[in-house]
Structure 1
């Protein structure tokens, strides 16, 4: 593996890069008035080129494995679903520790990092669905509607995480976040914002749905053990269950028909999934290092 996510000698450069890209993503995704456009003070061509270079390097890192993915829909789904067991970062020991042993201070630090690296699944889904074929587009719409609480503010998933952050008194800021977590969010935003990487984004979002339930259940167990109230930890309790169904429908209604229509999309979807998993694995390694775990 090259050092795009692991090279310690470049930590300072990586941090500077991903703080800059986090600023780019805030700028291009946050609504504003023309006179409030912050782009005037940024070197946008340079930032976009740096983002493209980062995403290209990450693609090159995973491409040899992604190329092995089958191009027939059923066989591809079998390969894809196996990532839950064998993919990078899966069943990391960090999560058993969070469930059974982590102190409240350690759990809060972990949650600060995770919240800062949250790119907004509902917004990414909305970006990805643009001009997708009808069947995948409809499933992306159903997933988005679930993320949006079926039109009820109390059921929206994003504010549930914000509620937990507020309830625990956390301060989630880019400046105090490890660069690996920023890189994860920047990867997701970059894939969703670039239409030539839209199928990569489908794979990256799909693998989140596939792999999140087990981790969410462990975090929820840790929060319960530490005395966090059910209403406050509901975000993780919910995703430990709901994402199982989301994963099944994403695979059947988004990934399968996309590959059936054009088998060339299979390696792109596979690359996106592996990019997301590699970013997650890098986060878990960095978290364990900070927390003094092996």
Structure 2
């Protein structure tokens, strides 16, 4: 069994698991996904081609980390969903001691720093779902559409999840930027963006997004508890309170209406769905390790 030292040594040997690479990839993602006018020259296109090659190499590295664990997952829908749901307890990063500490002990400045990292590394669940659903089979597409509609506040601007996060940024007076975010948080967002934007990683993206819905409620509840303890009102911590409850239903719906029918139609998708989920959780575990190292130093 690999030791923590072996894992750290392996990560340091990768050109992709570095501050320089992840900051560069994060800046490129922000630029390429922002609406803009057509570029006049070829420099931007050639830069995009180079970055796409690096992004795919980054994805290949992430897959290499989880391929052995994903290779033997059940191919039948019942067995796979049971395996998938077990990730809530046994997946990478689950039960991390960081979150009880945030709930019960972290002071305001420590909670502010944690939230700043999370906000800067947020890839935008609504946008990830929107990009992933392109050309999906009908039943899965409908579930992703329902999930997206919830993220968009069901048409009510006050209920949109993105602006709720922005409001909390203002309340806590933080400045989430690429430059003041640890590379592990950027790598998580970069990995999610890469899986959602490459169509040959679409099944990976479904698995990764499902892993977020599966595992977020418990962490959100503990962060909300910490924010309550330092004096934030119900309205001010609404983003985390909402995800602590709503994502429980979202996870059940996602597993039943997206993952299950996708596997019933084609059991060979199981490995890609599993790899995507494990990539998401492993990237999250890296974040928790780094956060603890800084917050508990």
Please give the range of the TM-score, normalised by the shorter of the 2 chains: over 0.9
In the alignment, is residue 287 of structure 1 matched against residue 269 of structure 2?
no
Report the Cα distance in structure 1 between the residues aligned to 2:246 and 2:271, rounded to whole angstroms.
27
Is the 2:11–2:17 Cα contact (8 Å) retained in structure 1? Answer: no
Q: TM-score, normalization: structure 2?
A: 0.94
Change (3 A) 1:125 1:38: farther
Equivalence for 2:191:
187
Given candidates 230, 233, 243, the residue that maps to 1:229 is 233
Secondary structure of the 2:18 match is helix
**1:228 and 1:37, CA in 2 relative to 1: closer, same or farther beyond 3 A?**
farther
Any idea what the Cα deviations from partners look like across 1:84-121, whole Å, max 9, x if unmatched? 00000001000000000001000000000000110000
Is 2:16 the counterpart of 1:32? no
**Which structure 1 residue ranges, 5 or more long, are not aligned?**
none
- Distance in structure 2 (CA, Å) of the matches to 1:209 and 1:123: 15
Q: Structure 1 residues 204 and 37, CA, compared in 2 at 3 Å: closer, same or farther? A: farther
Asked whether 1:170 is paired with 2:185, we answer: no
CA distance in 2 between partners of 1:15 and 1:282 (Å):
13
The structural deviation recorded for 1:40 is 2.5
SS in 1 for 2:252: helix
Q: How does 1:141-220 map to 2 (within 5 A)?
A: 141-220=145-224
Query: Cα–Cα, structure 1 residues 37 and 159, in superposed 2: closer, same or farther, change >3 Å?
Result: farther
**Alignment check: 8 A CA contact 1:203 1:269 kept:** yes
> Which residue matches 1:107?
111
* Structure 2 residue ranges without an equivalent (≥5): none
Task: Give the one of 252, 260, 266 matched to 1:262.
Answer: 266
Query: Structure 1 pair 264/101, CA: closer, same or farther in 2 (3 Å)?
Result: same
Judging changes above 3 Å, is the alpha-carbon distance between structure 1 residues 256 and 219 closer, same or farther for their aligned structure 2 residues? Answer: same
User: How many correspondences in the alignment?
Assistant: 293
**Structure 1 residue 50, shift from structure 2 partner:** 1.2
Aligned-residue RMSD, C-alpha: 2.0
Output the CA distance in 1 between the equivalents of 2:25 and 2:107.
32
The change in CA–CA distance for 1:26 and 1:260 in structure 2 (over 3 A counts) is same
Runs of 4+ in 1 over 6 A off after TM superposition: 9-13, 36-39
